[in-house]
Amino acid sequence: MVSGQYDYEKELNVDFFVDYYVLQEFLLNNDVFSRSTYFYRDVRGHLTVGPVWDYNNMLDNYIRPFSYDRLYLQNRGWYGALMKDEDFLERVLDRYKELRQTYLSDEYLTNYIEETLAYLGPAIARNDEVWGFSYDTTDLTTMQRRRPAAGQTLEDVNPSSHAEAVEWMVDFMLKRAAWLDENIESLRQYCHQSKTATQWVE
């Protein structure tokens, strides 16, 4: 912990806060700290963030597009303060690298997705019998479909099938993972003051 800063370890379940940030940033979950984020105290009395849920707006699956090649959540909610602490930040970086070798590795995630698709099997077709209209942009409101950027059509940014939606999601995930691998350490700028101002980098 940086000298003079709040001793967050007395109050927070730090491992949860670290894992929560890594997972949300990796999957680019747009809902974090704007909605669907809760806190509770566990039996040890530490404040914990969670649960892990509500991922319908992750991996660029939102009405407006997101880019895979930038950080999004480092200033949201409490993370704007936590990222100023070098110890917390180093924990985030170490945990990210650890998870990229295990549960967040490309191989693990793509295998998991393939296994899940196989498990779902004919349930995907049964689901499409009820909700298949969602692949027809003419049947959706502007809040139910992705908005095209200049030069794009609705069809360019809205999947036409379950298979295409999964393909887009996996493609975005792998691109984001590769970008984070190269750039995750840029988070360090958030725990150092600007060279040209007395303010913290925002």
Instruction: For residue 193, give both structure tokens.
Output: 């003051």
Q: Among 8-12, 13-17, 108-112, 166-170, which is the least confidently predicted range?
A: 8-12
**pLDDT for 35-49, tens place per residue?**
888 888 867 678 888
**pLDDT for 129-184, tens place per residue?**
999 988 998 888 888 888 988 898 999 999 999 999 999 999 999 999 999 999 99
Amino acid identity, position 142: T
Predicted pLDDT of residue 91: 95
Whether 58 has a pLDDT exceeding 70, the answer reads: yes
Q: How far is CA 162 from CA 66, 75, 166, 170, in A?
A: 20, 34, 6, 12
- Mean pLDDT throughout 86-109? 96
The torsion defined by the Cα of 172, 173, 176 and 177, in degrees rounded to 10, comes to -150
139-177 burial string, b = 16+ CB within 10 Å, else e?
Answer: eeeeeebbeeeeeeeeeebbbeebeeebebbbebbeebb
CA–CA separation, 154 vs 137, rounded Å?
7
Confidence category of residue 196, pLDDT binned at 50, 70, 90: very low
